[in-house]
A and B are shown apart, each in its own frame.
Chain A
Amino acid sequence: MPTSLEFAGQLREKFGDLISEPLEFRGEVTLTIANPERIAEVCQHAKTVLGFDLLLDLSSVDNYGDDPRWTVVYELSGIGHGQHLRLKTHVSEESSTLPTVSQVWRTADWHEREAYDMMGITFSGHPDLRRILMWDGYPYFPLRKDFPLAGKPTLLPDTAFTQPAPLEGGPFVTLPGGKDSAAREPRVRTPEE
Chain B
Amino acid sequence: MATQTIEFKDAAARAAQAVQAGGSNSSDELLDLHGDKLVLNMGPSHPSTHGVLRIVIELDGETITKAIPDVGYLHRGDEKIAENMTYNQFVPYTDRLDYLAPLANNVAYALAVEKLMGIDTQLPPRCQYLRVVCCELARISAHLLGLGAFAMDVGALTVFLHTFTEREKIYNLCESLTGARFTTSYTRIGGMTRDCPPGWVAAVRKFLDEVVVNFDESETLLTRNRIFVDRTRDVGVISKELAIDYGLTGPNLRGSGVDYDVRKAHPYLVYKDLDFDIPVGSVGDSYDRYLVRMEEMRQSVRIIRQCLDRLPGGPDNAGKEPINVADGKVVLPPKNKVMTSMEELIHQFMIVTQGVNAPAGEVYFGAENPKGELGFYINSRGGGTPYRLKIRAPSFVNLGILPAVLPGHLMSDVVSILGSFDFVMGECDR
Interface on A for B, CB 8 Å cutoff?
Answer: 25-26, 28, 30, 53-57, 59, 61-62, 73, 75, 79, 82, 84, 86, 105-107, 109-111, 114, 118, 131-135, 142-143, 147, 149, 171-174, 176-178, 181, 184-186
Nearest-CB distance from B68 to chain A (Å)?
9
Please count the residue pairs between chain A and chain B whose beta carbons lie under 8 angstroms apart in the complex: 127
Instruction: Assess the A181–B247 pair: CB atoms within 8 A.
Output: no
> What 1/0 mask marks residues of chain B from 261 to 289 whose CB sits below 8 Å from any chain A CB?
00001100000000000000000000000
Which single residue of chain B is at the shortest CB-CB distance from A59?
Answer: B390
Which single residue of chain A is at the shortest CB-CB distance from B386?
Answer: A176
Known: A25-B363, A59-B390, A79-B244. 6 other contacts (CB 8 A): A56-B247, A57-B364, A107-B397, A107-B400, A178-B383, A181-B353
Given contacts A75-B377, A181-B354, contact A82 B265 (CB under 8 A): yes
Main secondary structure of the interface of B (DSSP, over half): mixed
Instruction: Assess the A56–B396 pair: CB atoms within 8 A.
Output: no
Nearest-CB distance from A179 to chain B (Å)?
11
Interface residues of B in 373-396 (CB under 8 A from A): 373, 375, 377, 379-388, 390, 392, 396
Interface on B for A, CB 8 Å cutoff?
Answer: 71-72, 75, 77, 79-81, 83-86, 89, 115-116, 118, 244-247, 258, 260, 265-266, 353-354, 361-364, 366, 373, 375, 377, 379-388, 390, 392, 396-397, 399-400, 404, 429-430
Given contacts A84-B266, A133-B72, contact A184 B247 (CB under 8 A): no
CA distance A17 to B366 in the complex (A): 31
* Residues on the A chain within 8 Å of B265, using CB: 79, 82
* Residues on the B chain within 8 Å of A82, using CB: 265-266
Instruction: Assess the B375–A53 pair: CB atoms within 8 A.
Output: no
Instruction: Assess the B71–A142 pair: CB atoms within 8 A.
Output: no
Instruction: Assess the A173–B84 pair: CB atoms within 8 A.
Output: yes
Instruction: Assess the A177–B387 pair: CB atoms within 8 A.
Output: yes
Instruction: Assess the A176–B377 pair: CB atoms within 8 A.
Output: no
Instruction: Assess the A176–B397 pair: CB atoms within 8 A.
Output: no
CA distance A172 to B377 in the complex (A): 23
What are 18 A-B contacts with C-beta separation under 8 Å? Answer: A30-B362, A54-B244, A56-B247, A57-B375, A75-B375, A79-B244, A79-B260, A79-B265, A82-B266, A106-B246, A111-B397, A132-B71, A132-B72, A133-B429, A173-B84, A176-B383, A185-B354, A186-B85
Instruction: Assess the B80–A25 pair: CB atoms within 8 A.
Output: no
